[in-house]
Amino acid sequence: MRRFSNYACSTAHLPLAEREAIDLLIRTATQRQGRIVIEHPSLSIEAHQYGFAVHLGLFDDLSDRPDDISPELWTLMNHARRMGANWLWFDRDERPSPAFPVFPAVDGEGTGATAQDDTAAVLPPPGTITQCCRSCGGSRVMRDAWAHWDESAQGWTLGAVFDAAYCEDCEADALLVERPVDTKGTAV
């Protein structure tokens, strides 16, 4: 048994023509022994509910970009492979990364918005703060921590938060800064 690493990416990072071509391959895919077979000349593609995944084993055999893969997709695949991933998952609900170009969205795809988003969000009370990445100012940050199982609460209870931090927008380790949030919910 092996463990595989995945790298999630917004579909907005793919040129529209390439997105539509892959979606067409998925819609017209045949089944063999109950398994959907997506016939791309160079890629191994697996469909999922919110997009598709591309296997990165291609890099084991090729060093140059095949003509049927756009430079943008090749760049994303290279980045995911360098990050240690075996699969690059394209997800319509994933927010775009500022590190890569963004192409026109179709029906809200690749915007990070979902059908469950509530446009009438509750605004934070005065005095609220947020944690932001010192490099890009983004608030999609996380910290290493440990938690323990609490039987009485029937859930995980946070035990400690460590210094190591990561920024999802920069896709890298980060230093965090604390910023106040105004009454409109925006970091200042």
Determine the Cα–Cα distance for residues 91 and 95; give it in Å rounded to an integer.
Answer: 9
Q: Are strands 30-32 and 35-37 parallel, antiparallel or unpaired?
A: antiparallel
Q: What is the mean pLDDT of residues 53-64?
A: 87
Burial of 107 from C-beta contacts in 10 A (0-12 / 13-18 / 19+) = exposed
What's the confidence (pLDDT) of residue 108? 52
What proportion of the chain, given as a percentage, has pLDDT over 90? 40
Question: Mean pLDDT across the chain, nearest whole number?
Answer: 83
pLDDT at 181 over 80: no
Determine the Cα–Cα distance for residues 4 and 7; give it in Å rounded to an integer.
Answer: 10
What's the confidence (pLDDT) of residue 55? 94
Determine the Cα–Cα distance for residues 11 and 157; give it in Å rounded to an integer.
Answer: 35
Q: What is the mean pLDDT of residues 4-14?
A: 90
**Which tops the pLDDT comparison, 119 or 48?**
48
Q: Are 100 and 76 in contact (CB under 8 A)?
A: yes
Both tokens of 177, joined, read 């800064």
pLDDT at 187 over 70: no
Determine the Cα–Cα distance for residues 31 and 38; give it in Å rounded to an integer.
Answer: 9
State the pTM of this model. 0.58
Both tokens of 37, joined, read 């077979």
What's the confidence (pLDDT) of residue 42? 92
Spell out where 97-175 has E strands: 129-133, 141-150, 155-167, 172-173
> Residue 183's pLDDT band (boundaries 50, 70, 90)?
low
Domain ranges across the chain: 6-91, 129-180
**Dihedral pair phi/psi, residue 11, rounded to 5°:** -65, -15
Burial of 139 from C-beta contacts in 10 A (0-12 / 13-18 / 19+) = middle
Q: What confidence tens digit (pLDDT) does each residue in 122-178 have?
A: 556 667 788 899 999 888 899 988 888 888 777 788 888 888 899 988 999 999 998
What's the confidence (pLDDT) of residue 161? 84
**Which tops the pLDDT comparison, 185 or 16?**
16
What contacts 12, CB < 8 A, 6 or more positions away?
A: 96, 102, 103, 105, 109, 110, 111
What's the confidence (pLDDT) of residue 86? 92
Q: What is the mean pLDDT of residues 102-116?
A: 59
pLDDT at 113 over 80: no
